[in-house]
Amino acid sequence: MVETRRTLPVIGVLAGVIQLVWRERTVFARSLAMPLGAWVLFALVMMAFPADSGSSWRYLLVLLVYGGVFTMVAVTCHRLALLGPSAVPAWGLQRWTRRETRFLGWVVAGYAVALVMMMVLGTVLFTTAAVLAPVGGTHAAEEPALVWMPWLSLLMSLLPLYLLARLSPLLPATAVDERRDMAWAFEASRGNGWRLLLIVFGLPWLLGMARNILVRSEATSVEVLAVSLLGLVLLPVEVAALSVAYRFLTKGTGQSSEATL
C-alpha cells in the first residue's frame, strides 16, 4: 500500500516530460518508428479505399488496429521513460506478449467501467430533468431548477474521466511488468485524482485544440495528414506524462521504477 501522500505537481510533470522527450528524442523516434509507421500506412490505406458510412466491419478493424498500435506505443513510451533505453529493443517492441495483453485489458476494463458509470449517471440526469420539467408542465419552479442541468451534465461527464484518471497508474505499472490491481491504483492516486485528470486527459485535449487551430476550414487532404502526423509526434509526450506522474506518486514507496534516461 502507498503510505506517503504527496501533491502531484502538474506543471512540474508537464515540464519534466517535455524535457525528457526532447532530451531523448532520438531514442523515442527510433523506438516508435515501426508502430507509428504502421499506423500511418494503415490510415493511408483506409483513406485510399473509403467505405460506405456505417460499415461495422471497417469500424471494428480500425478499432482493433488502433488498440494494438496504441498499446505498443504506450508500453514503449512508459518503458523508455521509467526504465531507460535498455528496456526496449533498438527499433522498438516487435512482439506482442502477455504484458501487452494485460495493458490493453486494463484499458478496455477501465473504459467499460466508465461507460457503465456514464449510462447510470445519464439515466439519473434525464430522469431528474423529466421530473423537474414534465412534458406539458407549467410549474413556475421548473425553469430555475433546470438552470443547473447543464452544470450537472458537465459534472456527470467529468466523473467517468475522473474514474479513469484514478485507475491510470495501472498502465505504466503494467508496462514495467508490475502486477497491480484497481485497489492499488485507487490508493496510489488518492488525493491526486483531479491532477491526474489534467495530465491524462487535459494535456491531450489542449494539444488537440492546438492542432485544430492549424486546420483551415477548407483544408486539403495533405494538410489534414500533416496535422495528423503532428499528433503522432506529440503522442509520446502525452503518454510519457503519465509515466512521470506515476514515478512521482510511487517514489519512495518501494514501488517506483527509476528511469535511467
CB count in 10 Å sphere of residue 106:
20
34-93 tens-digit pLDDT: 888 888 888 778 777 776 655 677 778 888 888 999 999 999 999 999 999 999 988 888
CB-based contacts of 92, cutoff 8 Å, min separation 6: 30, 31, 32, 33, 34, 35, 72, 76
Give pLDDT, residue 55: 67
Backbone angles phi, psi at 15, to 5 degrees: -65, -40
Whether 31 shows a pLDDT value over 70: the answer reads yes
Distance CA 139, CA 157 (A): 28
Q: What is the mean pLDDT of residues 181-203?
A: 95
Secondary element (H or E) of residue 206: helix 203-213
More confident: 2 or 11: 11
Q: With 90 as the cut, is the pLDDT of residue 22 above it?
A: yes
| The predicted structure's pLDDT at residue 233 | 84
Average pLDDT for the chain: 83
Is the pLDDT at 206 greater than 60? The verdict is yes
Whether the per-residue pLDDT at 19 is higher than 80: the answer is yes
Taking the C-alpha atoms of residue 81 and residue 154, their distance in angstroms, rounded to an integer, is: 34
Q: How confident is the model at residue 253 (pLDDT cuts 50, 70, 90)?
A: low
Domain residue ranges in the chain? 10-250
pLDDT of residue 145: 53
Long-range (24+ apart) CB contacts under 8 A made by 127-132 are 128/152
* Angle, helices 25-48/10-23, rounded to nearest 10 degrees: 90
Please give the Cα distance from 188 to 179 (Å, whole number).
Answer: 14
How deeply is 107 buried, as exposed, middle or buried, from its count of CB atoms within 10 A (0-12, 13-18, 19+)? buried
And the C-alpha cell for 106? 486494463
Higher pLDDT, 54 or 116: 116
Residue matched to cell numbers 449517471: 121
pLDDT for 1 beyond 50? no
Average pLDDT of the segment spanning 253-260: 49
* 108-117, 144-153, 167-176, 228-237: range with highest mean pLDDT: 167-176
Torsion region of 2: left, alpha or beta (phi above 0 gives left; psi -120 to 50 gives alpha): beta
